Structure formats: C-alpha cells, structure tokens
Amino acid sequence: MLTFKEIVLVKLAAEFMNDLDTRKIIKYSIYKIWSEVIKKVISSLCIPFTLKKDIFAMVKHILTKVHNWMVDHNRIFTKKQEDSIKFCFKVDGEVDRVKTADLLIHSEELDVQRRFVLACQYWTSWDVLAFFKNLQESAREQILHKYSTANEDLNLYEKNAVQCGLKTTKKEVSLNLGVGAINIIIGIAFLFRLTFWMI
C-alpha cells in the first residue's frame, strides 16, 4: 500500500504532466533544459527540500509512463492533439489507460473517427455500438465507408479490420443500422482491441 507521501508526490507530478506548457517544454527540449525548468518551478513551491527531489524523481517516472502510452497510441492522434491530451493517473503513477481513453472518447476536441478508434480499443462491442448509434448520420456513414472498403491510407489496426473480411456494400448499410452494419461495428471493435493489445 502506498504511503500518503507517495500519493501526494504522484498528484503533484501528475499536475506537471497535465500542464500543457510544461509538457511542451519537456517534449521539445533536451533533458538538461527541461529538467532545469522543472527544478526551478519545484524550488518555488513552499515544501520541504527533501520533497522537492522526490517530486522531480516522480515527474521523471510519470514522464516514462506517458511516453509509453504515447508509443502505444502512435498514429492515432495528430501532434497538436498529442500535446493537448489530459492524462488520468492511478495512485502509483501509472497512466490510467481506461479513464484517459474515456476522457478522450467523450472529448469534443477530437474528431469522431479518432474517438471511434479509441472506443474500439477500450470499450465493449456493445458500448461501441451504442456510441456509434448516437453519432450523426453523416459521421456514421463516414466510419462505415472508411472501414468497410479497401482504403490504402488505413493504419495497422484499421487494415486488419478490413483484411478480415469486414467488407460491406451500400445495400447492407441502412439508416436504422442493419445487421451488416452492426456486424461491421462489432467486428471492427473486436479486431481493434485484439490488435492493439497484441502490439
């Protein structure tokens, strides 16, 4: 079980990682520069000196976890979107992947297709279907078209869904989500999750 001190350190370090300006400095600067910036900010806090060193160590730890999350979600987000992601953390400093994904899926800042890809990786097939049904008709049609036809611009997750025979014709896709469309959505959700967690 974590001590109160460790929980507080994680909270403070998480604040640094979710501060967009700080994260940009970390992302786009060399270690020597960003570590000095972080240390300067930490030194201005009214806390004991020993805690200041611990906070910096925790920032480095959480930075590693955020980097791993970004690698696992490579090519899903644009650079601008990556820079603005707010992360949820567990009490031990790990990125809470499910809560972070839920925040992003419900975010209006991401386009519908990126939110759909995340939903396919983290949610059950039925939750993905409910999400899909709540989209505007034009967004549903775009998603069905993109993932039900051969498209050379698809990423690895998307290509696997198409290659596994999840093709459909316009006739199968009706406004009330016919069986073909439902099978595509459930199949895509399953394959996205399977491929995502295997990588």
Global confidence as pTM: 0.75
| Sign of the four-CA dihedral 27, 79, 157, 73 | positive
pLDDT of residue 103: 96
Closest to 80 in 3D by CA, of 35, 124, 47, 114? 114
Q: Write down the pLDDT at residue 98.
A: 96
Q: Give CA–CA dist 27/49, Å, rounded.
A: 26
What pLDDT score was predicted for residue 125? 83
Query: What averages of pLDDT result for each successive group of 10 residues across the chain (199 residues)?
Result: 91 92 90 92 87 92 95 90 94 96 94 89 87 91 76 61 38 42 61 54
